[in-house]
Amino acid sequence: MLQGHARIVDFIAQTDGVTGRKKLQKMIYIAKKLELPFQEKYEFHIYGPYSEELAVRIEELCDMGFLTEAVEDKGSYIQYTYGVTPEGQEFRETLGAGSAAADFASALNEKSSRFLELTATLLYFDDLPREECIEKLHIVKGKLNFTDEEIDEAFAFIEGLQTFRRIS
């Protein structure tokens, strides 16, 4: 009961706050790919893997008063920053839902939204051999012009994250 909600609060609580809806979406996707206990269903959307279920849960958690959503007008776009309220801390502790290690959440949070979009997209196509995966990336993300260096860095990052993979 509400364990799924509690895991999201727990994950955000491991960071100093997550800036960007897109960024939070990709962080949870990457965590899910590493078999951390998130159940939200993802599909491929404009910015790569996206979960409508996660978007709903985040909005619900804000309505419940467990998450804060700070809205900042950046001129050409609106930026959202998420943090955990004292009520959210209590909710998380009451339900005792563990989600991820703090250093894992921080490692993701340190990265830019663009980098996480790239990483999540590469993970989305991880059933393909590396060259085909890159080819697919350029088809679906052609307008973003990811460089070879960025792509290499993302693959190395994915490799480094394997230490956090949940062993069931």
Partner 1 sequence: MSYATEKLAEEKVFKDPVHRYIHVKDLAIWDLVNTREFQRLRRIKQLGTSFTVFHGAEHSRFNHSLGVYEIVRRICDDVFPNRPAWDEKERLVSLCAALLHDLGHGPYSHAFEKVFHVDHEDFTRRILLGDTEVNAVLKRVAPGFPQDVADVIAKTYRNKLVVSLISSQIDADRMDYLQRDAYYTGVSYGHFDMERILRVMRPLEDQVVIKSSGMHAVEDYIMSRYQMYWQVYFHPVARSAEVILRKIFQRAKKLHAEGYEFDQPPRHFQSFFDRTFTLKDYLALDEAIMMTYFQLWMTEKDPILSDLSDRFVNRRLFQYIEFDPGKDYKKLAELAVLFNKAGIDPEYYLVDDSSSDLPYDFYRPGEEEERLPIHLLTPNNEVKELSRSSQIVDAISGKRRTDYKLYFPEELLTDGKKKAVKQQILDMIREGEK
Give the distance between the most distant pair of CA atoms in the chain: 47
Site for partner 1 in 111-130 (CB under 8 A): 113
With CB under 8 A, what is the number of residues at the site for partner 1? 36
Region at 65 (left for phi over 0; alpha for psi -120 to 50; beta for the rest): left
Please, how many CA atoms are within 13 Å of residue 139, restricted to the half-sphere of its CB?
7
167 binds partner 1 (CB under 8 A): no
Distance of closest approach, residue 76 Cβ to partner 1, in angstroms: 5
63 binds partner 1 (CB under 8 A): yes
Q: Which of 17, 64, 83, 150 binds partner 1 (CB under 8 A)?
A: 64
Q: Which of 11, 29, 38, 91 binds partner 1 (CB under 8 A)?
A: 91
Nearer to partner 1, 94 or 163 (CB): 94
Q: CB of 10 within 8 A of CB of 69?
A: no
Distance of closest approach, residue 10 Cβ to partner 1, in angstroms: 14
Q: Which of 16, 56, 106, 163 binds partner 1 (CB under 8 A)?
A: 56
C-alpha span between 72 and 107 (Å, rounded): 24
Query: To the nearest 10°, the Cα dihedral for 89, 36, 59, 116?
Result: 110
